[in-house]
Structure 1
Amino acid sequence: MARTTQHHHPLAVAQPLYWRIAAQLLEELHAGTIPPGRRLPGERRLAEHFGVSRETVRQALEVLRRDGLVATDRRGTHAALPGLAAHSPASLTFPVGARSGDPRTVDRATVTWETPPPEHAAALGPAGHRPTLVHRYESAAADGGGRRTAITSFSAVALAEVEELARYRDRAAGTAGVQLWRVYDWMRSAGLTLHHRDTISRPADTGSVRVTRRVRDQHGRLLELTDLRVDARQDALVYEFTLPAAG
Structure 2
Amino acid sequence: MVRTTPHDRPLTEAQPLYWRIATRLLGELRDGTIPPGERLPAERQLALHFGVSRETVRQALEVLRHSGLVTTDRRGSHATLSGPPVETPSTLTFPVGARSTAPGAVDRATVAWETPPPEHAEALGLAPHRPTLVHRYESAGADGHGRRTAVTSFSAVALAEVAELARCRDRADGTGSAELRRAYDWMRRAGLTLHHHDAITRLPGAPSVRVTRRVHDQYARPLEITDLVMDAQQDALVYEFTLPAAG
Amino acid at match of 2:157: V
Q: Is the 8 A contact 1:116 1:128 kept in 2?
A: no
Residue 197 (structure 1) aligns with: 197
Asked if the contact 1:42/1:76 (under 8 Å) is kept, the reply is no
Indicate if the aligned counterparts of 1:120 and 1:128 stay in contact, CA closer than 8 A: no
Describe the shift of the 1:168–1:28 C-alpha distance in structure 2 as closer, same or farther (beyond 3 A): closer
Aligned positions of 1:163-202 closer than 5 A:
163-202=163-202
* Aligned counterpart, 1:40: 41
**C-alpha spacing 1:156/1:56, structure 2 compared with 1 (3 Å):** closer
Q: Which amino acid aligns with 1:235?
A: D
Q: Distance in 1 between matches of 2:93 and 2:70?
A: 22
How high is the sequence identity, in percent, across the aligned residues? 69
* Distance in 2 separating the partners of 1:124 and 1:55: 40
Q: Tell me the distance in 1 between the aligned counterparts of 2:87 and 2:98.
A: 21
**DSSP 3-state at the match of 1:129:** coil
Cα distance in 2 for residues equivalent to 1:187 and 1:245: 8
How far residue 47 of structure 1 moved from its aligned partner, in angstroms, is: 7.0
Greater mean deviation of Cα atoms: 13-22 or 196-205: 13-22
Amino acid at match of 2:187: M
Q: Distance in 2 between matches of 1:179 and 1:33?
A: 20
Runs of at least 5 residues in structure 2 that lack an aligned partner in the other structure? 1-9
Per the normalisation by structure 2, the TM-score is 0.81
Q: Please say if residues 209 and 231 of structure 2, whose CA atoms lie closer than 8 Å, have aligned partners that are also in contact.
A: yes
- Deviation, 1:49, is 3.4
Alpha-carbon separation, structure 1, partners of 2:178 and 2:35: 23
Aligned length: 237
Change in Cα spacing, 1:112 to 1:50, as seen in structure 2 (3 Å) is: same
Please tell me whether the aligned partners of residues 98 and 228 of structure 1 are also in contact (alpha carbons under 8 angstroms). no
Aligned residue number for residue 57 of structure 1: 57
For the 8 Å contact 1:127–1:156, the answer to whether it is kept is: no
TM-superposed CA distance for 1:132, in Å, is 1.5
SS at match of 1:127: coil
Contact 2:126 2:155 in 1 (8 A): no
Give the Å deviation of 1:162: 1.8
3-state SS, counterpart of residue 11 of structure 1: coil
State how far apart, in whole Å, the 1-side matches of 2:48 and 2:220 are.
38
User: After the TM superposition, which of the residue ranges 168-177 and 25-34 deviates more from structure 2?
Assistant: 25-34
Alpha-carbon distance change, 198 to 67 in structure 1, aligned in 2, over 3 angstroms = farther
> Partner of 2:198: helix, strand, or coil?
strand
Amino acid of the structure 2 residue aligned with 1:124: L
1:4-28 Cα offsets, whole Å, 9 max, x none, are xxxxxx6345644432222233345
Over residues 161-183 of structure 1, what are the superposed CA-to-partner deviations in whole Å (9 max), with x where a residue is unaligned? 22221222232211111221121
Which stretch of the first structure deviates more once superposed, 40-49 or 223-232? Answer: 40-49
RMSD (Å) for aligned C-alpha atoms: 2.9
**Corresponding residue for residue 234 of structure 2:** 234
Q: How does 1:1-247 map to 2 (within 5 A)?
A: 11-12=11-12, 15-29=15-29, 34=34, 37=38, 39-40=40-41, 42-43=43-44, 46=47, 49-51=50-52, 53-67=53-67, 69-74=69-74, 76-78=76-78, 82-87=83-88, 89=90, 91-100=91-100, 102-125=102-125, 127-247=127-247
Query: What amino acid does structure 1 have at the position aligned with 2:184?
Result: Y
* Matches of 2:45 and 2:112, distance apart in 1: 40
Distance in 2, matches of 1:30 and 1:172, equals: 27
TM-score, structure 1 normalization? 0.81
Q: Structure 2 vs 1, CA of residues 62 and 127 (structure 1 numbering), >3 Å: closer, same or farther?
A: same
CA distance in 1, matches of 2:211, 2:246: 26
TM-aligned CA deviation for residue 136 of structure 1: 0.9
Q: CA separation of 1:42/1:54 partners in 2, compared to 1, >3 Å: closer, same or farther?
A: closer
